[in-house]
Amino acid sequence: MRLAALRQRNWLILHDVDSLSDAATSHQLSQHRSQQRSQGQSHPLHPELFHQAYWRERNLIVGEAPGRGSSFFLKASDSEQWVLRPYRRGGLIAKLSEKRYLWLGEERTRAFRELRLNAALYDQGLPVPRPVACCVMRYGPTYEAALITVRIPGAQALASLLAAGEADEALLQRVGAMIKRFHQAGLDHVDLNARNILIAPHGEPWLIDLDRCRLRPPGKWQEHNINRLARSLKKFHCHSVLPSILKGYNC
C-alpha cells in the first residue's frame, strides 16, 4: 500500500494512492475532478469529500451504521462502497467539544494514526478494511477529522448475528482465531466489542474501528482486550458464547 499526504494551508489528507487511482474513474470523483480542474486544481481529493453533506446532495449515501457520530455508507462507484466515519468524542468531554481535538502535529492526530495502522495491518494480510483516505481540518490549536475505508460487501456485525441466533460454534471459533492473529501481530484493540467484529457473507470475520489502537509487545493488554469483549457480549446478553470464542483463540 502506497500512502501519500496532500497538504494545504488548513487541511491535510493522507490517502492510499492505489485506492484513489481505482476510485478516480467513479462518477462522483470524475465529476469532482472536472470541477477542480476548472478551478485550477489537479487533485481529486478535497475536504468536502469527507462530509456527509457532499454525498447526500448527490444521493450517494446508501446506508448508515449505528454508533457515536454515525458512519455513512457511500456509493463510491458501481462496484464499490465506502464507509465515511467522522471522529466524535464520547463521555463527559463531549459536552465541551463533540468533534474537536487538540492539535499536536499531523502524525499525532487520531486520523493519521489510525490510517497508518490500518494500512500496516492490511499489508500483512490481516482482515481489516482497506483504508482509502483520512482528512484533518485544522482550526488553530484544534482539529476535526474523518476517515474513509472500503466497505466489506454484505458484512454484518457479530452483535447482530448473535441477537438473531445465527452465530454457530464454528463461526465463534473463527472469531477467536481471528483475534489471536491480531494479538500475534501486536494489535492492542482498545475497543474490542461485538459491533467492531464484522462477519462477511461466507463467514469470514473482520475487525474494524482501530481508533486509539496501537501495536505493542505481548503483555497484559491482550487479557484486557478479551475482558473488553466479554463485557460487550454480556451487554448483548450473549456472554455464554465466550467459551466458544476462547476455544478458537487458544487453538
Q: Which of 203, 140, 201, 147 is nearest to 15 (CA)?
A: 147
Strand order from edge to edge, sheet including 197-199:
156-157, 197-199, 205-207
Which amino acid type is present at position 192?
L
Question: Which one is catalytic: 16, 191, 209, 211?
Answer: 191
What residues contact residue 49 under an 8 Å CB cut-off, 6+ apart? Answer: 32, 135, 148
pLDDT of residue 28: 54
Backbone angles phi, psi at 102, to 5 degrees: -75, 130
Query: What residues have CB less than 8 Å from 204, skipping those under 6 apart?
Result: 127, 174
Give the pLDDT score at 213: 98
Q: Are 135 and 158 in contact (CB under 8 A)?
A: no
pLDDT at 98: 76
| pLDDT reported for residue 239 | 85
pLDDT at 53: 94
Query: Are the beta carbons of 174 and 204 closer than 8 angstroms?
Result: yes
**Residue 75: per-residue pLDDT:** 95
Question: What residues in the chain have per-residue pLDDT under 50?
Answer: 24-25, 27, 34, 37-40, 94
Residue 168 annotated to the active site: no
